[in-house]
Structure 1
Amino acid sequence: MKALVYHGPGDKRWEEVPDPALVDATDAIVRVDTTTICGTDLHILKGDVPAVTDGRILGHEAVGTIESVGDAVTTVRPGDRVLVSCISACGRCRFCREARYGQCIGGGGWILGHLIDGTQAERVRVPFADTSTYRVPEGVSDEQVLVLSDILPTGYEVGIVNGQVQPGDVVAVVGAGPIGLASIMAARLYSPSSIVAVDLADSRLTAAEQFGATATVNNGDRDPKEVIGDLTGGLGADVAIEAVGVPETFELCTELIRPGGRVANIGVHGAPATLHLEDLWIRTVTVTTGLVDTYSTPTLLRLVASGQLDAAQFATHHFALDELMDAYDVFGRAGETGALKVVLSGAGR
């Protein structure tokens, strides 16, 4: 089969690789019908995730069709159309029992496209298939559920839930890329009074308005602290969500919040960021971090299936699966191309 293979920082190739095979009785082999590229994949290619080694097939998001299952798999069977979660869950360890699947110590966690071969391929082996795949409801398109593999649960759990967004809050989202937009979409479920999107790209700020931001700030032109100060009588935002993963945006979030405010860091950081405790300690500031656990995926699936969340609006560019190299180019230049999520369809679509 063909797959997108990582060969070190800056080196990726669409090449022939062996077909995956069942290894454990809890595995499934899934034909990839639809996949996408994540900002984390770009971080990997920059060398920010050293655990990813030469020869790894990238990708951790997919919608596909079960082709075969191990003897211990009971909830899905060949022919089922499923969402493949970015997080694999053994279902038995301490952290899985606490619904902290991202911290699974039984062989799961974030492993696809990280510690084992991933989904940017014609087929993928999915460990713990019973607890790491979700049947796609009838009548729901691949585009509608593809972002439930990763970015929508991430924005919801690591941004909105960790940030404890409440009705009436002023929420600042720093970074209006896909994960920032997912946070904006999820924040609306909690009725904040204002959602302020901050970014350097006007195209992404336009998208943020379409996803529900009530105000936008290009921080190359205007200081977002002024805009949020005007909204809050100088107090600052109740919640600031970091959705980029660079030191400057994290530090900006700590400057945007009010005393008693909350910073929810989502971004994947490849370099240290300064935590100014000399300023923050007296302001009773809370900072949270996190890898998505995907405990919210069933809830988000219901919201998408019922039409309460329009997740298909993330899809801006479409490619065939064998055009992955072109898709990476478009996604990697999102500030120029306006790409939010690229949708790659396999031969079965």
Structure 2
Amino acid sequence: MKGFVFHGPGQASWQDVPDPAIKEPTDAIVKAGAVTICGTDLHILKGDVPEVRPGTVLGHEAVGEIVETGSDVRTVRPGDRVLLSCITSCGRCRFCRESAYGQCRGGGGWILGHLIDGTQSEYVRVPCADLSVHPLPGTLRSEDAVLLADIFPTSYEVGVLNGHVRPGDTVVVVGAGPIGLAVVVTARLFAPERIIAVDLAPARLEAAHRLGADAIAAVAEDPGALVADLTDGLGADVVIEAVGVPESFELCTRMVRPGGHVANIGVHGKPATLHLEDLWIKNVTITTGLVDTYSTPTLLRMAAAGRLPTGQLVTHTFPLDHMDEAYDVFSRAADTGALKVVLGGEQHAEVAVRAA
């Protein structure tokens, strides 16, 4: 089979790789139907995630069909269409028992495309399949469902819930990439007074406005002044960092009100300065986190009911074997306007069948 293999910082290729096989009785093998590329994959290619070894197939988001299961798998069977969670859960360790699946100590957590081969391939081995895949309703398109593998639960849990967004709040989202846009969508579920999106790219700010941001601000336009103007100088109740660079984190801490929350989602490859000389007196809560995906079943039900506009974040689709082109388009988002790119899915599956 083929997969997209990491060879070191700045080096990756779509190439032949060994077919996955059942290693543990709790494994499942999934034929990939739709996969996508995450900003974290770009961080890996930059060398920001040194735990990823050369030779690893990248990717941690996919929708596909079960083709084989181990003897201990009980909740899915061959032929089932499933969402592959970005987080693997053993279901037995202390953290899994607390629904903190991202911190799993039983062989799970974020392992796909990180510590083991991931989803950007034709077939995927999924450990702990009973708790790590979710059956999909037939009404939900693969192109829409695949965004529930990571960015929507991440934005909802690590951003909106960790940030304690409440009705009437002023919420600032720094970074209007796919994660930030999903924050805008899910923050609206809690009826904040206003959502302000901040980014460098005009196209992403326009997308944030379409998806529900009440105000937008380019970084060069002093978003801190806008926030101060809209809150009578108080600052935002919740500021959510969705970029992963020191400048954006420090901007978040300058815009939060006393007693407010800063929720960091971004994957940071460099240290960020924490200005405790200013923050210690302000009663500010700062949270970080890896998604646990405990919200995935709820988000799936909402998407199936048409309550989450996941498909509106997909700007580009490709056949599965156009991985190099998809990475190029996604990595040059400022030039291409890419938000979320999806490879495979029903549209390209139909083309492949006709070609065969």
The TM-score, its normalising length taken from structure 2, stands at 0.97
Cα distance in 2 between the residues matched to 1:219 and 1:57: 35
- The match for 1:234 is 233
Matched residue, 2:164 = 164
Alpha-carbon separation, structure 2, partners of 1:177 and 1:309 = 17
User: 2:342 aligns to what SS in structure 1?
Assistant: strand
Give 1:336 shift.
Answer: 1.1
Aligned to 2:197: 197
Equivalent position of 1:304 in the other structure: 303
Query: Any idea what SS the aligned residue of 1:322 has?
Result: coil
Q: Could you tell me how far apart the structure 2 residues matched to 1:311 and 1:212 are?
A: 13
Does residue 61 in structure 1 map to residue 61 in structure 2?
A: yes
CA distance in 1, matches of 2:284, 2:74: 46
Distance of 1:80 and 1:173 partners within structure 2: 37
Aligned to 1:97: 97
The alignment yields a C-alpha RMSD, in angstroms, of 0.8
Match of 2:256 in 1: 257
Counterpart code for 1:41: D
Residue 200 of structure 1 aligns with an amino acid whose one-letter code is L
**Matched position secondary structure for 2:82:** strand
> Post-superposition shift, 1:129?
0.6
In the alignment, the residues of structure 2 paired with residue 13 and residue 307 of structure 1 have an alpha-carbon distance, to the nearest angstrom, of 36
Deviations 1:168-208 (A, max 9, x none): 00000000000000111110000001000000100000010
- Cα deviation, 1:93-149, whole Å, max 9, x if unaligned, reads 000000000000000000000000000000000001100000001211012211100
1:232-259, Cα deviation, whole Å (9 max, x unpaired): 0010000000000000000000000111
CA distance in 2, matches of 1:146, 1:314: 11
| Residue aligning to 1:225 | 224
Matches within 5 A, 1:82-121: 82-121=82-121
What residue identity is the alignment partner of 2:228? G
1:310 deviates by: 1.3
User: Which residue matches 1:178?
Assistant: 178
Q: What is the alpha-carbon distance in structure 2 between the residues aligned to residue 62 and residue 193 of structure 1?
A: 35
Determine the C-alpha separation between the residues in 2 that align with 1:215 and 1:76.
44
Q: Equivalent residue for 1:315?
A: 314
**AA at the equivalent of 1:173:** V
SS of 2:321's partner is: helix
Kindly provide the CA deviation profile for residues 276-321 of structure 1, in whole angstroms up to 9, marking residues without a partner as x: 0000010111100000000000000011011111111111101001
Structure 2: gaps spanning 5 or more residues: 351-356
**How far apart, CA to CA, are the structure 2 residues paired with 1:224 and 1:249?**
11
Please give the alpha-carbon distance, in whole angstroms, between the structure 1 residues aligned to 2:335 and 2:243.
17
Shift of 1:226: 1.0
**What's 1:279 paired with?**
278
Q: Secondary structure of 1:336's partner?
A: helix
Q: Residue type matched to 2:84 in 1?
A: V
Match runs of 1:21-32 below 5 Å: 21-32=21-32
1:229 aligned counterpart, secondary structure: helix
Structure 2 Cα separation of the partners of residues 140 and 179 of structure 1: 21
Residue 8 of structure 2 aligns to a residue whose secondary structure is coil
Q: Give runs of ≥4 in structure 1 deviating > 6 Å.
A: none
Structure 2 CA distance, aligned partners of 1:29 and 1:4? Answer: 17
What amino acid sits opposite 2:69 in the alignment? V
Structure 2: how far apart are the matches of 1:318 and 1:147? 13
Which residue does the alignment assign to 2:143? Answer: 143
Counting aligned pairs with the same residue, the percent is 65
- Determine the C-alpha separation between the residues in 2 that align with 1:293 and 1:257: 25
Between the two proteins, the alignment pairs up a number of residues equal to 348
For residue 292 of structure 1, what is the aligned residue in structure 2?
291
Q: Which residue is 1:75 aligned to?
A: 75
In 1, distance between residues paired with 2:132 and 2:310?
Answer: 20
2:23 pairs with 1:48: no
Once the two structures are TM-superposed, the CA of residue 348 in structure 1 deviates from its matched residue by 4.3
Distance 2:218 2:223 in 1: 8
